[in-house]
Structure 1
Amino acid sequence: MLLLATLFIMVGFLCLYLTQISSLVLYRMFLNIILIAMFLVGLYVLASMVFIIQILKGKKMNAFQSRMIKSSMTMIYPNILNVCGMMGIDKDKVRKVFSDINNQLILSKTYHIDPQHILILIPHCLQKKECPHKITAEITNCKRCGLCDIDNLIRLQEKYPVKLFVATGGTIARKIVRETQPKAVIAVACERDLSSGIQEIRGIPVIGIVNERPEGPCINARVSTGRIEACIQYLQGEGES
């Protein structure tokens, strides 16, 4: 983001230089317009970057600052991913930062949502690969052996009457959201699925929790149920997550 802002400012100064050496009135006017536009965009990006740094440090944002961060991330995030792809940088690191910024924006607000209106979406890879009792169609198929985190998640559902569903992909996740009509979502997934889901689900808060993958991607993943419970409590209005 800092690189992009610097680029805008450099282009602006270049336009300023051209206005000084050009004798054509229309050309100068055109370059002045570009100069002003580049300056405003650069200022906007720099201000957004300052707000993002503040929110990552845990500072609260007002409504204007939150909207500014969201709009700038919508504009810049895809471009940052493209640059990372060209430079061979791990995109998941950028996706993780995007998810963290989104979470901090949500946690900077106050909510009072009944637990029955909170949807928890989890990936099927949280279940042990060797388990014969598949939960993709119905999570109650779990036999509660405790070898994976599914048992703990069902315990959370019993403690708080939240909606708990297994999503095998983005299409299924969107379908579940449409059918259940939640007022908030707590999503567990890898960085890529989280970032795309956060962007696709509009109008309600979506807290993203990156799963742990000690055995590699998409196999025997883990998640902190304590963190999920803290998010439930926060969305209910019971303190900080």
Structure 2
Amino acid sequence: MVAAAAALFILGGLFAWVIRGVGLSNAMMALLMSFMILSMALLLLFSAGALLLVLTLYKGREAFFLWRMRGLIVKVIYPLTLFLGSLLRISREKIQESFVEVNNQLVRSRKIKVKHDRLLLLMPHCIQYNECRTRVTGDIRNCERCGRCKIPDLIKLSEQYGLDIYVATGGTLARRLIEEKKPQAVVAVACRRDLTSGIADSYPLPVIGILNERPYGPCINTVFDLQKVKDAIRFFVVPDPIGEEPIAAASTLKHSGRP
């Protein structure tokens, strides 16, 4: 706040000095011209970024230096789109879904490969059947494998690939796990809000996000496409062990609750 106030004071003093030197009308004209030039430069920048984005999504591979502009898309264009969407009454969820899809395609354009022990799987706690007698609170392998949710499938998948999998109780804890484990890539299942904020907060870490569905409402018995999780793992992990013997290294299967 102090720095911002000091900057405004300096700019105000500079503007007053310019007015005294060239006159108010000339100063206003110069300010207007500067604003127009800056606006045109920003417009050209966003137009170039949009063009490269379209090329990447169309070709399915990285176009020029677009990967380096991913930060601009994540940190600037997405928040700006949310703001404009609120003014134009565009569904926030639609914008979030589009952001996740664009992010996934940008990540896939890089052909990133990591070892199985450097890939982190993050799952939301709401994928467990809410009336299950055994809560997976400490070890996901406590699952009774009744078949009412997809946790048994995730256990099998993580064992097959030798992956670390964590069931987090919220976006804050998921981000903490990323900071602690320091993976090279992440596959995450979450709701629109947690997924978009998680992708933005974990940048530049490559994250493939998979949206869950809420047939019974938010945070209860949510479901997701298991095939999309498999595809994301196959994209990141090298070599691909599907169809071969499970990796010898034991996987870490944990449930992370609130501290």
Category of TM-score, reference length = shorter chain: 0.7 to 0.9
**Where does residue 37 of structure 2 map in the other structure?**
36
The alpha carbon displacement at 1:146 in A equals: 1.6
Tell whether the 8 Å contact from 2:97 to 2:192 is kept in structure 1 after alignment: yes
**Where does residue 60 of structure 1 map in the other structure?**
61
The alpha carbon displacement at 1:58 in A equals: 4.7
The farther-off stretch of 182-191 and 56-65 is: 56-65
The alpha carbon displacement at 1:26 in A equals: 4.0
Matches of 1:225 and 1:190, distance apart in 2:
15
The answer for unaligned runs of 5 or more in structure 2 is 1-23, 241-259
The superposition leaves residues 189-226 of structure 1 with CA deviations (integer Å, 9 ceiling, x where unpaired) of: 01111000001113421111001222222111112222
**Where does residue 85 of structure 1 map in the other structure?**
86
Tell whether the 8 Å contact from 1:110 to 1:237 is kept in structure 2 after alignment: no
**Where does residue 77 of structure 2 map in the other structure?**
76
Matches within 5 A, 1:85-124: 85-124=86-125
Tell whether the 8 Å contact from 2:55 to 2:63 is kept in structure 1 after alignment: no
Change (3 A) 1:70 1:63: farther
Amino acid of the residue matched to residue 106 of structure 1? Answer: V
Matches of 2:177 and 2:37, distance apart in 1:
46
**Where does residue 182 of structure 2 map in the other structure?**
181
Amino acid of the residue matched to residue 43 of structure 1? Answer: L
Amino acid of the residue matched to residue 103 of structure 2? Answer: N
The alpha carbon displacement at 1:25 in A equals: 4.3
Tell whether the 8 Å contact from 2:145 to 2:151 is kept in structure 1 after alignment: yes
**Where does residue 6 of structure 1 map in the other structure?**
none
**Where does residue 5 of structure 1 map in the other structure?**
none
Structure with greater contact order relative to length (CA < 8 Å, sep ≥ 6)? 2
Matches of 1:123 and 1:194, distance apart in 2:
10
The alpha carbon displacement at 1:92 in A equals: 1.0
Change (3 A) 1:77 1:215: same
Name the % identity.
36
Aligned length: 217
The alpha carbon displacement at 1:89 in A equals: 3.0
Matches of 1:148 and 1:72, distance apart in 2:
35
The alpha carbon displacement at 1:69 in A equals: 4.3
Matches of 1:73 and 1:175, distance apart in 2:
20
CA RMSD between the two structures: 2.1
The alpha carbon displacement at 1:31 in A equals: 2.5
The farther-off stretch of 187-196 and 223-232 is: 223-232
The farther-off stretch of 152-161 and 223-232 is: 223-232
Change (3 A) 1:99 1:238: farther
The superposition leaves residues 135-161 of structure 1 with CA deviations (integer Å, 9 ceiling, x where unpaired) of: 243212211122111011111011101
Larger Rg: 2
Matches of 1:72 and 1:178, distance apart in 2:
22
**Where does residue 227 of structure 1 map in the other structure?**
228
The alpha carbon displacement at 1:73 in A equals: 4.1
Tell whether the 8 Å contact from 2:115 to 2:238 is kept in structure 1 after alignment: no
For the residue of structure 1 that corresponds to 2:65, the secondary structure is: helix
Matches of 1:58 and 1:132, distance apart in 2:
48
Amino acid of the residue matched to residue 74 of structure 1? Answer: K
Tell whether the 8 Å contact from 2:53 to 2:66 is kept in structure 1 after alignment: no
Amino acid of the residue matched to residue 91 of structure 2? Answer: D
The superposition leaves residues 23-58 of structure 1 with CA deviations (integer Å, 9 ceiling, x where unpaired) of: 954443333222211111011112222223333335
State the TM-score, normalizing by the size of structure 1. 0.82
Matches of 2:64 and 2:51, distance apart in 1:
16
Change (3 A) 1:30 1:84: closer
**Where does residue 128 of structure 2 map in the other structure?**
127
Tell whether the 8 Å contact from 2:189 to 2:210 is kept in structure 1 after alignment: yes
**Where does residue 192 of structure 2 map in the other structure?**
191
**Where does residue 214 of structure 1 map in the other structure?**
215
**Where does residue 142 of structure 1 map in the other structure?**
143
Change (3 A) 1:72 1:158: closer
**Where does residue 202 of structure 1 map in the other structure?**
203
